[in-house]
Amino acid sequence: MRLAVLYIAGVLAAGCSRPPKGPVLTSSAGQPEYALRYADAVGDSARAFGDGQEQEHKLATGFAAHLDELKKPDWDLVRSVVDESDAAGKSADFVDAHHEIDAVRTFWDGEKTVLDAKVAGGAQYALKQAACTSDCTNLDVGGPAAYALNDAMEKEIQKRLRARSDAFMLIERQHSALGTQNTTVVEKLADEVSQASYIVHVDLVVQAERLHGLLADKDAVQSTLDHFVMDERTYQSQPGRTDAEKKASSERIAAATKGRTEIDAAAVQAQAALNGSDQKIAAATKDYDAALGALRDKIDQKKRSGG
């Protein structure tokens, strides 16, 4: 997923503003570091495209059920929150924030195990260095510390995304009138509508375009890996190479060979995801629009019935 960051930034910039006058980025297919990660990137992007469709349907299916959890709210306010959430999901400001968050999540998912271990180890070490009058040094504080870090990360991510939606300005303004229970329900509804809107209007389109770009790099990436292996073999044959240097080179060759063999399977997976991609995006959009329409209709019914 890390290869997505620059690509998505370019797509979003092109879609959300006038044609850019900035740099024209060239393909990285000739760069070994990119080529070594290529198969994983293709597979991740293909899965992301499929996961987005599933997530949209799951979110949309649950929209209307939230209304039954509300206790005599101002239904005009609820309708306004829904409308603002839908608009937010396809707005440039919300998309920019989502892009930032996606980049953070990509980093976090890749480094989470290492970071959790370091936080837990640091907390445990600090406890062992503390002067205790009891058996406190045997307490496990590492696990709770890592949990607190992850929990804080998720809450701050949610806070940042909500700050880009006018729906939450309405909710904050009417918090007292809504009450705590209704506020919690409406916030969840707003999160889900804006996320589903973002998926169908932005994310699926971006992921499909990214898959097209990745597949266009396939032949060049394979060639890059072939040359990389030849360069490594040449490096190994040079006079004076130590056993350690040759071992490290052999490991690089093994990684390149493994990456090379995985490319075709990843490309097949990506092509399968892309087959009928326009129709898949249209179907997800239709599903979302139908669910949003049913949600608005139910709000109107609740208002008329005084529910």
* Domain range summary for the chain, segments of one domain joined by +: 4-74+179-305
Note the pLDDT of residue 255: 97
Note the pLDDT of residue 252: 97
Note the pLDDT of residue 13: 47
From CA 219, how far away is CA 290, in angstroms rounded? 41
Among 219, 8, 200, 241, CA closest to 86: 200
Q: For residue 187, what are the contacts with CB-CB under 8 A and spacing of at least 6?
A: 162, 168, 171
Contact indicator for 167, 62 with CB cutoff of 8 Å: no
From CA 281, how far away is CA 55, in angstroms rounded? 13
Instruction: Classify the C-alpha dihedral 52-54-58-60 as positive or negative.
Output: positive
Note the pLDDT of residue 212: 95
Contact indicator for 228, 35 with CB cutoff of 8 Å: yes
**Residue that has been written with the tokens 């005084």 in this structure:** 306
Give the mean pLDDT per block of 10 residues along the chain (307 residues).
49 52 87 96 94 97 96 96 98 94 81 73 66 60 72 84 96 94 97 98 96 96 97 96 97 97 96 96 98 97 88
From CA 74, how far away is CA 82, in angstroms rounded? 13
